[in-house]
């Protein structure tokens, strides 16, 4: 069953469209991330589901109930805020008990539920403390506990880890993933951090300029991006301008320097059409003298950067474009010197083609 479903939802502020005709559906137990740059409409979408902003057109359903005109308090949602939004004048216990008291639960039951959920977020001993006595990570655990305790249909998380430092953020990601797996909760999560989206999500909804650019499993978005925007937003990418040589059964294009590049997919365009081609840096493999690959380009090593486990090679092609190859670092010292010629190869499966101008 869809816990939340959006039908053609739009939001305009004056003449500016913050969201244009968005359709989205999140199933029970699913973890969906709204990912995108700032201003892409992901927070607007979240606030629209929460009922904090009204849709200009379209409908919002929660558990198949039309809630488009229902106030936030009647939507049976939970929300985790970036700034935690814990009540500073209440103890941790009172904070977590708040939604239960709203629901008029008897106090013995309240106490038991709060204790349970505090154990769940691994903070069993902080019930009598004030939020300000806890660290940022602990406060965010409490704010998650406050959502879990009343078991809402859907939990909205608005960049919940944005205020934490890197190490803590990594820990909290795993913590949220654990809670999601253990409890089967449905989560709609907003972030601008692609790595965070990859770690957490069952599906990623990548947004750009008020539209859904692509919606799918993280691996789908990574390996089969629908547009160059998706390709560049998720992970590193090399984008090249190419022209179509053969459209079917598998497209072949002419790349920089005239080399033929093969893909595994057909393209429904006329020969000589302009295309853009993506190949991920980690798929570009430096070739030895004797080696050959399905697709090859050759150029000059213009820079080598060592980043611990990974080494980046910047290679200048004959037409001037620079492409990047990322390899696992093996042994000490760079195997290719700056200024030396190099051949890079990749398989047809790793060639992704887009129509030009997208």
Partner 1 sequence: MATAAMGRPGSKGDLPILLAPVTALLVLVFFVPLSFVLFYSVYDNGLTAKAFVSLAKSTLFLRVLGTSFDIALSATAVSLLLGYPIALHLARQPPRRRALLMILVLLPFWTSILVKSFAFYIILGNQGIINQALRWVFGEAAAVKLLFNRVGVIVGMSHYLIPFVVFPALASLLAQNPDLRRAAQIMGAGPVRIFLRITLPLSMPGVIAGGLMSMVISLGVFVTPTLLGGKADMMMANLIDFYTRDTLDWNTAAAIAVILLALSGILIAMLSWVRRDDGVA
Identify which range of 57-65, 70-78, 231-239, 317-325 contacts partner 1 by CB under 8 A.
70-78
Among 37, 39, 88, 341, interactor with partner 1 by CB under 8 A: 88
Measured distance CA(25)–CA(39) in Å, rounded? 22
Interface with partner 1 in residues 122-151 (CB under 8 A) = 132, 146, 150
Residues 6+ apart with CB under 8 A from 304: 311, 312, 313, 314, 334, 336, 338
User: Residue 14 interacts with partner 1 (CB under 8 A)?
Assistant: no
* Residue 304 structure tokens: 């080598």
User: Residue 98 interacts with partner 1 (CB under 8 A)?
Assistant: yes
Measured distance CA(8)–CA(25) in Å, rounded? 11
- Per-residue binder mask for partner 1 (CB under 8 A), 41-60, x = binder: ---------xxx--------
Cβ at position 40, least distance to partner 1 in Å: 21
Among 15, 16, 38, 89, interactor with partner 1 by CB under 8 A: 89
Torsion of CA 101, 103, 105, 107, to 10 degrees: 0
Identify which range of 76-84, 236-244, 270-278, 341-349 contacts partner 1 by CB under 8 A.
76-84
User: Residue 245 interacts with partner 1 (CB under 8 A)?
Assistant: no
* Residue 207 structure tokens: 């947004």
Cβ at position 149, least distance to partner 1 in Å: 10
Identify which range of 80-88, 202-210, 272-280, 342-350 contacts partner 1 by CB under 8 A.
80-88
Residue with smaller CB distance to partner 1, 152 or 225: 152
Cβ at position 75, least distance to partner 1 in Å: 7
For residue 31, the cross-strand partners are: 187
Interface with partner 1 in residues 19-38 (CB under 8 A) = none
Give buried/exposed letters for 180-195 (b at 16+ CB in 10 A, else e).
beeeebbbbbbbbbbe
Give the binding-site size for partner 1 (rule: CB under 8 A): 26
User: Residue 87 interacts with partner 1 (CB under 8 A)?
Assistant: yes
* Residue 29 structure tokens: 């137990």
* Residue 24 structure tokens: 């989205």
Q: Which of 155, 168, 144 is nearest to 95 (CA)?
A: 144
Cβ at position 158, least distance to partner 1 in Å: 9
Identify which range of 58-66, 86-94, 281-289, 317-325 contacts partner 1 by CB under 8 A.
86-94
Residue for token pair 């789908």 = 220
Measured distance CA(35)–CA(213) in Å, rounded? 10
User: Residue 227 interacts with partner 1 (CB under 8 A)?
Assistant: no
Measured distance CA(277)–CA(321) in Å, rounded? 13
Cβ at position 31, least distance to partner 1 in Å: 19
Measured distance CA(203)–CA(206) in Å, rounded? 10
User: Residue 72 interacts with partner 1 (CB under 8 A)?
Assistant: yes
* Residue 286 structure tokens: 């430096």
What are the residues binding partner 1 (CB under 8 A)?
Answer: 50-52, 71-79, 81, 83, 85, 87-89, 98-99, 102-103, 132, 146, 150, 156
């Amino acid at each position: 069953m869809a816990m939340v479903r959006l039908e053609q939802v739009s939001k305009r502020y004056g003449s500016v469209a913050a969201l244009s005709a968005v359709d989205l559906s999140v199933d029970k137990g699913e973890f969906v991330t709204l990912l995108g740059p700032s201003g892409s409409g992901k927070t607007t979408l979240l606030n629209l589901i929460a009922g904090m902003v009204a849709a200009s057109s379209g409908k919002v359903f929660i558990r198949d109930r039309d809630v488009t005109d229902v106030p936030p308090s009647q939507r049976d949602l939970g929300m985790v805020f970036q700034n935690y939004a814990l009540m500073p004048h209440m103890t941790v216990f009172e904070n977590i008990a708040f939604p239960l008291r709203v629901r008029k639960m008897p106090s013995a039951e309240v106490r038991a539920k709060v204790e349970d959920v505090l154990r769940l977020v691994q903070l069993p001993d902080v019930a009598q403390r004030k939020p300000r006595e806890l660290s940022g990570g602990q406060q965010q655990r409490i704010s998650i506990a406050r959502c879990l305790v009343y078991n809402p249909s859907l939990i909205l998380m608005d960049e919940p880890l944005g205020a934490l430092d890197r190490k803590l953020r990594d820990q909290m990601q795993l913590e949220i993933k654990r809670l999601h797996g253990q409890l089967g909760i449905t989560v709609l999560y907003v972030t601008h951090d692609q790595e965070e989206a990859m770690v957490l999500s069952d599906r990623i909804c990548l947004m750009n300029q008020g539209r859904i650019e692509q919606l799918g499993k993280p691996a789908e978005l990574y390996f089969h991006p629908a547009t160059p925007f998706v390709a560049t937003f998720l992970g590193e990418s090399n984008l090249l301008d190419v022209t179509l040589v053969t459209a079917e059964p598998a497209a072949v294009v002419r790349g920089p320097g005239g080399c033929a590049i093969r893909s595994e997919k057909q393209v429904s365009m006329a020969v000589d059409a302009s295309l853009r081609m993506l190949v991920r840096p980690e798929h570009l493999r430096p070739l030895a003298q004797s080696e050959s690959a399905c697709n090859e380009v050759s150029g000059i090593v213009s820079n080598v950067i060592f980043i611990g486990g990974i080494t980046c090679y910047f290679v200048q092609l004959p037409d001037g474009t620079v492409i990047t190859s990322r390899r696992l670092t093996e042994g000490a010292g760079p195997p290719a010197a700056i200024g030396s010629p190099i051949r890079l190869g990749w398989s047809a499966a790793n060639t992704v083609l887009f129509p030009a101008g997208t």
